[in-house]
Amino acid sequence: MTAFWLVAALFVAVALLLVLPPLLRGRGAAGRPERDAANIGLYRDELAELEREHAAGAVGAEQYREAKQELERRLLEDVAPAAPPHGAGAPPHGATRWAALVVGIALPLVAVLGYLKFGDIRALDPVARQEGHPVTPEQIGEMVEKLAQRMEQQPDNVEGWVMLGRSYAVLSRFEESARAYARAVALVQDDAGLLADYADSLAMARGGNLVGEPYEIVKRGLTLDPKNFKLLALAGSAEFQRKDYAAAVGFWERSLAQVQPDSDFGRAVQSSIDEARQLGKLPVAEAPTPSRGASPLAITGTVRLAPALAGKVSPGDTLFIFARPTDGSRMPVAILRVSAAQLPYAFRLDDSLAMTPSNKLSDHSSVLLGARISKSGNATPRAGDLQGSSTPVAPGTQGLVLTIDQVVKD
């Protein structure tokens, strides 16, 4: 988009060069507009050719900038107003100068406002331009390969290597993604965010294993930015894989402090913390303060599937975890929805998951917990769903184990 505005500004400047000189020179420069127009036409052709070569990668960024500056210099020399011959015309009078001033201000202003009013600003966004013409996976692969070929010709282009690393990661080509990030890190060694992306791709290339070189990269990033939430999350995962659950909880709690606790990421981190505490038999942490947005009367635990029902779960099934009042009401006071593929799942139910502000988990002295695997994705139980429930428990209960061991009948 920046390139568009630069080119647009250049064309506005060219338009002013066509309009203003006659106003400032009066009648003494007859014949110059035709020659200027021809020069500008040639300039536009050369500029368009230069833009095409730059877009195709044939001209590097530095060469493009130098060539464009040279074209601009030549244009200004070719269309610069010549000094009128002695006596060829009188100096511009006040009205002419005023007209030149008005045109010089109004032309750029009208051009910009007119485009913003009647143009389509989304057309400057390459992603928006593709909305009406979906890009196929094959086309995406071709574009990524072209970028990879260009980067071999521009090995010092940090932004290009980062873009290539992200592109490969989106395509789940993690080994190539890690190699691209490695090239970027070799050029810029003090970027914590870049190190986080590098460690993530390298771990994914090794089947999700963060132990070893990926964790060393994470530690290096944390020395640069101890509060980087992605690095902290990765460090917690690495310690969890090493079965150092106390260290995992420490990193994850620091990561959780950087995000909203009721966000999807915050809930996922909190579930991981609860699972690590349970596996490591760690003492329950103090209740979160109100400023972190969580209720001190949360119920935590793990939902597990009975081995006899393992063959009845599909990857696309939905897992609902909910708490209901013990008075027989069917309306949940807290409900959580996740993919059944995440079983066994460490959960946390609190007031942030209430369906209505007037009926929260903390309003009840005891509740019944339930878990249901829905085939349809609907929270209402249907025949063939799998479910399990608990005895009454008090809000604030920690480490509860809820087993799904029943099939819903007609």
The pLDDT value recorded for residue 327 is: 83
What's the topology of domain 137-290? 1.25.40
The pLDDT value recorded for residue 124 is: 44
The pLDDT value recorded for residue 76 is: 54
Tokens at 248, concatenated: 């995992």
- Let me know how long the chain is: 410
**Choice between 32 and 165, residue whose per-residue pLDDT is larger:** 165
**Choice between 48 and 181, residue whose per-residue pLDDT is larger:** 181
Angle between helices 245-256 and 264-279 (to 10 degrees): 160
Are 361 and 334 spatial neighbours (Cβ–Cβ below 8 Å)? yes
pLDDT band at 82; cut points 50, 70, 90: very low
> pTM here?
0.42
CATH number (1.10.10, 1.20.120, 2.60.120, 2.60.40) of 297-407 reads 2.60.40
pLDDT over 80 (residue 147): yes
Q: Which of 110, 109, 99, 77 is nearest to 23 (CA)?
A: 99
Are 361 and 395 spatial neighbours (Cβ–Cβ below 8 Å)? yes
Q: Which of 376, 303, 291, 289 is nearest to 336 (CA)?
A: 303
pLDDT band at 339; cut points 50, 70, 90: confident
What share of the chain has pLDDT > 70, as a percent? 62
Q: Which of 18, 3, 9, 19 is nearest to 112 (CA)?
A: 9
**Choice between 38 and 59, residue whose per-residue pLDDT is larger:** 59
- What's the rounded mean pLDDT across residues 280-296? 54
- What's the rounded mean pLDDT across residues 131-156? 76
Q: Which of 90, 105, 88 is nearest to 20 (CA)?
A: 105
**Choice between 110 and 178, residue whose per-residue pLDDT is larger:** 178
Are 334 and 353 spatial neighbours (Cβ–Cβ below 8 Å)? yes
Domain ranges of the chain: 2-123, 137-290, 297-407
